[in-house]
A and B are shown apart, each in its own frame.
Chain A
Amino acid sequence: MPVNMIMERFEESPLFTKLLKDIQNGNVDAFAKIIEEYKKLVAHIVFRMVTNPADREDLGQDIFIKIYQKLSTFRGESKFSTWISRIAYNTCLNHLNKKSTEMSKSYVSINRDWDISLSNDLTPLSNLERSELKCRLNQEILNLPVKYRMVITMFHLQDLSYQEISEIMDTPEGTVKSYLHRARQYLKEILEKEFQQQAV
């Protein structure tokens, strides 16, 4: 079952409402269940946005502490998972802005690679081993600009809609679609080119 559907079911359950009430009444241990339910969602965002492994664990903890502190501001106007994703995304973005070298490195890398022109005789990816493709794809995703990485993660891993992604990233839906198309186009071209070189 998609991650998004699992979380939706949890958020509609009476247990979820009770947990929020317990936490707001000062029961810190009740927050453990929230962490367990949403750990994977936050990990997807952190691991895709932050490439330095040493920062990921601390950043994940900071995100959950922020969620705990801001819990009273959650009004139920969006899904809880969307609200959590927004906090995770903004926290990672702030972290990357502080470490501006990582941000700029990603952009330089993408600008250089983006100019690859697609020749007409590219071999389709169907000739590639699936496991090899997955491995290479995950490596190449980390070369994309942060925002492209995020839309790919939220759309394909978390099954979020354009509208939800646009809410989380505070970006128009059209821009989200454009990021998605360009990111996938880039991934396809770079992998096809790589495979072509291997074949030669």
Chain B
Amino acid sequence: MIKHITSSDIQRFLDGDTTTMESADMKSHLNICQQCWQEYESFTMIYEALKQEPVSNFSSQFTHQVLTRIKSSPQPARYQRSPDILMAITGVVISILVSLYFIGLHTISNSISIINGNLMKILANQPVFPDGLPSQTINPYLLTGVIILMIIILLERLVFKRKGLIYSL
């Protein structure tokens, strides 16, 4: 008894979703089987008709109307970007504040000079706390690293808006 090609296989064949071997088998079967050939022809007709454009067009005033509605809305597009940037800035500020809290600093000028001093010590390969870590502190190397990372993320988001390296990671 001849095994006919299923409708589903005919569709897979027409979609280009069959292997070379399957396609070859189907072609040779279609050459000898009238019933499957008719089924195949019917699907071919359906595929051709589905490719035809239906009548689907907006009015000639469509573009103008969309622009008018956008212009009358209160928010211009550039402000829409702000959430991302604001989140990054907020992240940096919070991490700096948390760092300052743990280092035990109270004034901004002190903070900046001490962070700067710490960075200098790190760069000069000197111990940041020669007498050991004060209480209420966390590892200064880690803190500095986190702050630098946050700044890099912020800059990256601003410079490479579409596909930043860290973003894609």
Chains A and B are bound partners: yes
B19 at the interface (CB under 8 A from A): no
A152's nearest neighbour on chain B, judged by CB, is B50
A184 to B6, alpha carbons, bound, how many Å? 13
Inter-subunit contact B41/A125 (CB<8 Å): yes
B80 CB contacts on chain A under 8 angstroms: 69-73
Contact count band on B: 35 or more
A56 CB contacts on chain B under 8 angstroms: 58
A188 at the interface (CB under 8 A from B): yes
A61 to B65, alpha carbons, bound, how many Å? 8
Scan residues 95-144 of chain A and give those whose CB is less than 8 A from a CB of chain B: 124-126, 128, 130, 133-134, 137-138, 141
A192 at the interface (CB under 8 A from B): yes
Inter-subunit contact B70/A32 (CB<8 Å): no
Inter-subunit contact A157/B38 (CB<8 Å): no
B136 CB contacts on chain A under 8 angstroms: none
A57 to B81, alpha carbons, bound, how many Å? 28
A18 at the interface (CB under 8 A from B): no
A124 to B57, alpha carbons, bound, how many Å? 33
Inter-subunit contact B42/A181 (CB<8 Å): no
B113 at the interface (CB under 8 A from A): no
A125 CB contacts on chain B under 8 angstroms: 41-42, 45-46
B3 at the interface (CB under 8 A from A): no
A44 CB contacts on chain B under 8 angstroms: 54, 56
Partner of B63, one of A35, A68, A134: A35
B101 at the interface (CB under 8 A from A): no
B51 at the interface (CB under 8 A from A): yes
A12 at the interface (CB under 8 A from B): no
Inter-subunit contact A31/B49 (CB<8 Å): no
A188 CB contacts on chain B under 8 angstroms: 7, 42-43, 46
A70 to B67, alpha carbons, bound, how many Å? 15
Contact count band on A: 35 or more
B42 CB contacts on chain A under 8 angstroms: 124-126, 188, 192
Partner of B62, one of A23, A57, A72: A57
A93 CB contacts on chain B under 8 angstroms: none
A156 CB contacts on chain B under 8 angstroms: 47, 50-51
Given A24-B77, A26-B78, A157-B53, A128–B45 Cβ distance below 8 Å? Answer: yes
Partner of B58, one of A57, A68, A69, A137: A57
- CB 8 Å contact bits of A78-108 with B (1 = contact, 0 = none): 0000000000000000000000000000000
Inter-subunit contact A126/B41 (CB<8 Å): yes
B59 CB contacts on chain A under 8 angstroms: 57
**New contact pairs (5) apart from A60-B58, A76-B162, A126-B41, CB-CB < 8 Å:** A24-B78, A130-B49, A134-B52, A137-B49, A177-B17
4 closest A-B pairs (Cβ-Cβ)? A47-B56, A156-B50, A72-B81, A76-B162
Which residues does B use to contact A, with CB under 8 Å?
7-8, 11, 15, 17, 38-39, 41-43, 45-59, 62-63, 65-67, 69-71, 73, 75-78, 80-81, 84, 162-163, 167
Which residues does A use to contact B, with CB under 8 Å?
23-26, 28-29, 31-32, 35-36, 39-40, 43-44, 46-48, 56-57, 60-61, 64-65, 68-77, 124-126, 128, 130, 133-134, 137-138, 141, 152, 156-157, 177, 180-181, 184-185, 187-188, 191-192
Some 23 contacts from A to B, beta carbons below 8 A apart, are A24-B78, A25-B78, A29-B67, A31-B66, A31-B67, A39-B62, A43-B57, A44-B54, A47-B55, A48-B56, A60-B62, A64-B66, A68-B77, A71-B80, A72-B80, A75-B162, A125-B42, A126-B45, A157-B50, A157-B53, A184-B11, A185-B11, A191-B46
